């Protein structure tokens, strides 16, 4: 399956600032996804990012707060804007890997652990 890396792996930020998280894949993939995992909780889909089109956001998430870029088939960024302590979470990207032969399976990056003070 695809190898997925994320930067940074963790960060501590001040409220009111913004952080951009990078997701890099070692092969070309069509669909990339961004999730949030709040402390002790399950995963919630923020948005789906397809190359060449605007990201599709899930209910409760807006582009002004979580702008996403998808400049090519191997890379995406998620920005957490104007952060507050409630944004403290693990942010994970995932991909569907066509090389793995299944379009129903997502593979996850290692996550970015964000703490907002």
Partner 1 sequence: GDSVTQMEGPVTLSEEAFLTINCTYTATGYPSLFWYVQYPGEGLQLLLKATKADDKGSNKGFEATYRKETTSFHLEKGSVQVSDSAVYFCALNAGNMLTFGGGTRLMVKP
- Using CB under 8 A, list all residues that contact partner 1: 1, 6, 31, 33, 41-43, 45, 48, 90, 92, 94, 96, 102-111
- Least distance CB 14 / partner 1 (angstroms): 24
41 or 72: CB nearest partner 1: 41
- Please, which residues have CB within 8 angstroms of residue 18's CB and are 6 or more apart in sequence? 79, 80, 81, 82, 83
- Least distance CB 106 / partner 1 (angstroms): 6
- Least distance CB 42 / partner 1 (angstroms): 5
Are 78 and 21 in contact by the 8 Å Cβ rule? The answer is: yes
């Amino acid at each position: 399956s695809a190898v997925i890396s994320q930067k940074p792996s963790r960060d501590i930020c001040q409220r009111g600032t913004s952080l951009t998280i990078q997701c890099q894949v070692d092969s070309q993939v069509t669909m990339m996804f961004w999730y949030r995992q709040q402390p002790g909780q399950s995963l919630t889909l923020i948005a789906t990012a397809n190359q060449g089109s605007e990201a599709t956001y899930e209910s409760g998430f807006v582009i002004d707060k979580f702008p996403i870029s998808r400049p090519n088939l191997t890379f995406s960024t998620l920005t957490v804007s104007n952060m507050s302590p409630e944004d403290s979470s693990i942010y994970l990207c995932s991909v569907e890997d066509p090389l793995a032969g299944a379009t129903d399976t997502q593979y996850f990056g290692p996550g970015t652990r964000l703490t907002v003070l």
